């Protein structure tokens, strides 16, 4: 039954004027009266045939929709083949994949949405490729066969052997067709956000592409899903497309959907010589940095809870940790939510720093693992809003009980967790609880002030470079006290 475009149909076209989507909830597609579709699958096939001309899909592509997809190259022309049918709440989605040489073309095809009851189609989307230019690879092309880990290491330029990681772990492979685009060889976020994004999407230093590979052409590739570690993150799952003839890596993505948030990598006094926490948002906000928030446990909406840290409201006043459906935690400095993001980011970063130095978290924080366990609770607005922070012990006093952060200055709404020097101080207490079952050394308070100074003093713009906490005026500690004045151990 022909499908007519009326005012009840929303038509979306691409830049070339080709129809790419039809939305027609007010004009559902059904079979003529008396013809009841046997299934969603059969109605979908008829719908595709009836809207093919609207989508500029040639009839030659839809003559054999239910034929199987081949696992190896054949001599078949460009076609559409049934891919899957799945139900989401009250909607059924039927998808077709575009193939050439019998192989699926990456992210090319056609799908439609069906509603139950009187079974009907209410929308469809096409990502069909036109003018597919491809040359079948030789039957003995080097990379048509499954690739060994050692070969993959060479093709991707991975450093293996003594002092480096072992060979990559290959999880699965298959053959498909990919239209090469040099602009999307790497994750676009690496280019779009890399310089201004701390800890952006990871990538690998792939070898250059051979001059034989032409942008816009289609190539038979072997998709390889593999696991390879990234410093500071650990094992990461990757997808790459290896061209069958040359072995060139045409595409690479890490399987990471990174949440982002505004933070202070260094507090403003260290970074730029000011302003103080009492300054208005107009002065404080421009100094934020957009950073990846690593280790988060995926959940919808996204919460600030992950491998090492979970935000929790454990101390008054009440302040609920923020969640974001988008995964982007973008707040003004003078808000509690900005402090929440900093609390997660900085505490998490110290656990990662210790692990990346080669220490075992299980050994170093054995008491914390037993009680309360990871992720540890972190309250970003605590202690009744005094100017303070604490790293309390657990109930058995043999591990960290988490972290409490209050305000950065009297009367300010800015949180003290925004200052990584303060977080360094409290993190050292967490180390000591596990090591000596106390927050302090017997001969000194802790090494926290020293850690904060060592990590932040180089390049500091603070007017007084020897103030240990130059941004927190209520804490006038210094690290240039004279030994002759009694500032030494054992004096």
Among 239-248, 257-266, 267-276, the least confident range: 257-266
Given a contact cutoff of 8 angstroms between Cβ atoms, the answer to whether 111 and 34 are in contact is no
Which fold would CATH assign to domain 259-485? Elastase; domain 1 (3.10.170)
In this predicted structure, the answer to whether residue 75 has a pLDDT above a threshold of 50 is yes
399 touches 434 (CB < 8 A): yes
**pLDDT the model gives residue 412:** 94
At 79, list the tokens: 């076609």
What are the start-end ranges of the H helices in 138-213?
149-156, 188-193
Here the contacts of 142-151 (C-beta below 8 Å, separation 24 or greater) are 142/244, 142/245, 142/247, 143/222, 143/242, 143/243, 143/244, 143/245, 143/247, 144/72, 144/73, 144/175, 144/220, 144/222, 144/244, 146/173, 146/222, 147/173, 147/222, 147/224, 147/242, 149/226
Specify the pLDDT at position 72.
94
Q: The tokens 């054992």 sit on which residue?
A: 490
Q: What percent of the chain has pLDDT over 70?
A: 93
Report DSSP state, residue 320. Answer: P
Structure confidence by residue, pLDDT tens digits, 367-391:
999 999 999 999 999 999 999 999 9
Tell me how long the chain is.
491
Closest by Cα among 292, 53, 56, 311 to 196: 292
* Cα Rg of the chain, angstroms: 29
Provide the β-strand partners of residue 243: 221
Given a cut of 70, whether residue 193 has pLDDT beyond it is no
pLDDT at residue number 192: 46
91-141 pLDDT, tens digit per residue, is 899 999 999 999 999 999 999 999 887 889 999 999 999 999 999 999 999
Each residue's pLDDT tens digit, 155-181: 999 986 565 667 899 999 999 999 999
From residue 226, alpha-carbon distances to 94, 106, 223 in Å are 29, 18, 10
Comparing 408 with 356, the larger pLDDT belongs to 408
Q: Is the bond preceding 69 in cis, omega lying within 30 degrees of 0?
A: no
Looking at the DSSP bridge assignments, the partners of residue 328 are 260
**Where along the chain do its domains lie?**
10-126, 149-254, 259-485
- Segment (H or E) for 404: strand 403-405
Q: Quickly state the pLDDT bin for 232 (edges 50, 70, 90).
A: low
Q: Which residues contact 466 (CB under 8 A, 6 or more apart)?
A: 478, 479, 480
Give dist(CA 317, CA 405) in Å, integer. 11
Measured in degrees and rounded to the nearest 5, phi and psi for residue 174 equal: -160, 165
| pLDDT given at position 457 | 92
What are the two backbone dihedrals, phi and then psi, of residue 194, each rounded to the nearest 5 degrees?
-50, -60
Question: What is the pLDDT at residue 135?
Answer: 95
Low-confidence winner among 55-64, 224-233, 401-410 (lowest mean pLDDT): 224-233
Q: Which two tokens stand for residue 60?
A: 């030659």
SS3 at position 155: helix
Q: Is the pLDDT of residue 490 over 70?
A: no
Q: How confident is the model at residue 208 (pLDDT cuts 50, 70, 90)?
A: very high
Query: Residue 381: which residues within 8 A CB-CB, separation 6 or more?
Result: 317, 319, 336, 339, 340, 405, 406, 415
The encoded tokens of residue 468 equal 């240990």
Q: Strand order in 197-198's β-sheet?
A: 197-198, 289-293, 259-263, 328-329
């Amino acid at each position: 039954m022909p499908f007519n475009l009326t005012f009840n149909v929303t038509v979306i076209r691409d830049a070339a004027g080709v129809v790419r989507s039809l939305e027609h909830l007010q004009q559902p597609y059904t079979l003529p009266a008396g013809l009841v579709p046997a299934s969603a699958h059969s109605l979908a096939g008829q719908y595709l045939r009836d809207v093919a001309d609207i989508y500029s899909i040639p009839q030659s592509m839809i003559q054999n929709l239910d034929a199987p997809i081949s696992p190896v190259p054949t001599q078949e022309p460009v076609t559409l083949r049934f891919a899957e049918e799945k139900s989401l709440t009250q909607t059924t989605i039927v998808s077709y994949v575009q193939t050439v040489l019998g192989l699926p073309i990456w992210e090319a095809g056609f799908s439609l949405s069906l509603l139950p009851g009187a079974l009907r189609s209410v929308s469809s989307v096409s990502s069909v490729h036109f003018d597919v230019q491809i040359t079948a690879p030789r039957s003995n092309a080097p990379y048509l066969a499954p690739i060994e880990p050692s070969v993959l290491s060479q093709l991707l330029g991975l450093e293996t052997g003594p002092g480096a990681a072992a060979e990559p772990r290959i999880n699965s492979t298959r053959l498909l067709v990919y239209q090469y685009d040099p602009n999307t060889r790497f994750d676009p976020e690496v280019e779009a956000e890399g310089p201004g994004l701390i800890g952006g999407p990871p990538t690998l230093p792939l070898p250059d592409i051979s001059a034989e590979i032409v942008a816009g052409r289609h190539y038979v590739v072997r998709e390889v899903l593999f696991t390879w570690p990234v410093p500071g993150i650990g094992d990461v799952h990757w997808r790459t497309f290896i061209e069958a003839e040359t072995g060139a890596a045409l595409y690479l993505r890490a399987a990471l959907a990174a949440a982002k948030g505004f933070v202070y990598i260094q507090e403003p006094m260290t970074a730029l010589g000011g302003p103080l926490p009492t300054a208005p948002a107009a002065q404080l906000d421009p100094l934020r940095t957009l950073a990846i928030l690593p280790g988060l446990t995926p959940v919808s909406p996204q919460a600030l809870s992950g491998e090492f840290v979970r935000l929790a409201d454990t101390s008054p006043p009440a302040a609920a940790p923020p969640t974001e459906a988008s995964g982007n935690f973008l707040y003004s400095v003078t808000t509690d939510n900005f402090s929440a993001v900093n609390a997660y980011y900085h505490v998490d970063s110290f656990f990662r720093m210790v692990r990346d130095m080669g220490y075992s978290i299980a050994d170093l924080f054995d008491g914390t693992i037993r009680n309360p366990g990871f992720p540890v609770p972190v309250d970003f607005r605590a202690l009744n809003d005094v100017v303070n922070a604490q790293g309390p012990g657990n109930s058995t006093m043999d591990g960290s009980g988490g972290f409490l952060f209050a305000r950065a200055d009297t009367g300010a709404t800015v949180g003290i967790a925004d200052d990584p020097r303060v977080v360094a101080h409290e993190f050292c207490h967490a180390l000591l609880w596990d090591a000596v079952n106390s927050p302090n050394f017997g001969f000194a308070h802790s090494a926290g002030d020293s850690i904060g100074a060592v990590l932040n003093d180089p390049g500091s713009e603070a007017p007084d470079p020897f103030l240990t906490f130059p941004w927190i005026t209520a804490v006038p500690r210094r690290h240039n006290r004279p030994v002759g004045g009694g500032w030494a151990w054992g004096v």
